[in-house]
């Protein structure tokens, strides 16, 4: 079972444009680090981690720093792998998407079915304030690697 953060695009009620982001380790984010963040339009996190990766690569050329730079680079990619999807969701919220809830399901198809089955009796933009961050405090807590959905 995994948890999916549901994000609604700004000003659009089209169900095809609603995004579900799974809360789990992202292998492509671990392998490609900052480039995965930039490809997913998480610009701030992508450029910061790219600058850190370049600095660690330069530090790796110096013999006394090479082992530490390698360990720090691995730690940075692990951080991106664990937190990359959260940073992607935050970047989407800054672009105007609104968090509408968390769905716990074994796969994306089941998560979509659960979400759309429970959505018929309420308006799509209920109980959220305007702004880039929305109102995550009103949502239930996520159940996954990054249990931070209700902490913001």
Q: What pLDDT, in 10s, does the model give residues 3-13?
A: 999 999 988 77
Q: Residue 16: its pLDDT value, please? A: 85
Mean of pLDDT over the chain: 83
Contact 76, 52 (CB under 8 A): yes
pLDDT band of residue 100 (cuts 50, 70, 90) is confident
Which residues are registered as beta bridge partners of 99?
Answer: 7
Task: Tell me which DSSP letter residue 127 carries.
Answer: T
Q: Delimit the domains of the chain by residue range.
A: 2-138
Q: Residue 120: its pLDDT value, please? A: 58
Share of the chain above pLDDT 70, in %: 77
pLDDT band of residue 61 (cuts 50, 70, 90) is very high
In three-state secondary structure terms, 102 is: strand
Residues 6+ apart with CB under 8 A from 134: 93, 98, 99, 128
Length of the chain: 152
pLDDT band of residue 146 (cuts 50, 70, 90) is low
Reply yes or no on whether the pLDDT at 93 is more than 70. yes
pTM of the model: 0.71
Nearest alpha-carbon partner for 116 in 131, 127, 128, 105: 105
Q: Residue 28: its pLDDT value, please? A: 95
Contact 24, 85 (CB under 8 A): yes
Terminus-to-terminus CA distance in the chain, angstroms? 23
Reply yes or no on whether the pLDDT at 126 is more than 50. no
Task: Tell me which DSSP letter residue 136 carries.
Answer: G
Q: What is the mean pLDDT of residues 53-67?
A: 94
Q: Residue 1: its pLDDT value, please? A: 84
In three-state secondary structure terms, 11 is: coil
Nearest alpha-carbon partner for 83 in 24, 35, 11: 24
């Amino acid at each position: 079972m995994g948890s999916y953060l549901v994000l609604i695009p700004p000003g659009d009620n089209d169900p095809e444009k609603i995004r579900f982001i799974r809360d789990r380790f992202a292998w492509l984010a671990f392998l490609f680090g900052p480039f995965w963040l930039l490809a997913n339009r998480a610009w701030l996190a992508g450029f910061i981690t790219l600058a850190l990766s370049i600095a660690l690569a330069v530090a790796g050329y110096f013999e006394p720093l090479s082992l530490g730079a390698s360990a720090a680079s691995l730690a940075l990619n692990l951080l991106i792998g664990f937190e990359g999807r959260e940073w992607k969701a935050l970047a989407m919220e800054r672009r105007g998407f609104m968090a509408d809830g968390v769905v716990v399901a074994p796969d994306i198809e089941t998560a979509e079915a659960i979400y759309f089955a429970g959505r018929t009796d309420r308006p799509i933009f209920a109980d959220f304030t305007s702004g880039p961050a929305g109102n995550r405090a009103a949502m239930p807590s996520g159940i996954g690697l990054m249990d931070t959905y209700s902490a913001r």
